[in-house]
Chain A
Amino acid sequence: KAGVTQTPRYLIKTRGQQVTLSCSPISGHRSVSWYQQTPGQGLQFLFEYFSETQRNKGNFPGRFSGRQFSNSRSEMNVSTLELGDSALYLCASSLGRVETQYFGPGTRLLVL
């Protein structure tokens, strides 16, 4: 089976812009979670989608949003980018609730 894929792998944006990241889960997986990884804060949970519904949300501002499509693919959007949003954004997929999460390679976002 193909693993979790994320596009794009690298992205450079400027402050105030918005960005959309994409994640395709492992075939058959219905849960997609997003994490932000930074040197200072480590890995922090953003949100989880299951069957097109947001099931859980971390402590991030409303500028961070996401959605999931009927084929389980997920997108994450960040509006009004700030310098502090520079990070590696990781997507993870799993079969269901409290299952093993399999991570994609990440999208590295740089905000200038």
Chain B
Amino acid sequence: GQSLEQPSEVTAVEGAIVQINCTYQTSGFYGLSWYQQHDGGAPTFLSYNALDGLEETGRFSSFLSRSDSYGYLLLQELQMKDSASYFCAVLSGGYNKLIFGAGTRLAVHP
């Protein structure tokens, strides 16, 4: 089967750093994506890793280890507006088929 595992909830304070892990088991793998979704909103793209290593985009970084079937999203200098659900998703097919994890709900407190 195909599955992605990520923590259901994470809590942190403003200004802190938080890491959201994702492990995956899929029949095909092209890369790992991260999406952010605020309550009632549409998922929005954050990052994509096709190769091992760290990708940095402003306050957000994403890491991938293909040999470990593992990745993480690192959020630095947390702000209240970062409170949202974060989904890891495996790009599983040659036509951008995304398989999503169940999501991690991040709550940022003052």
Q: Do A and B share a complex?
A: no
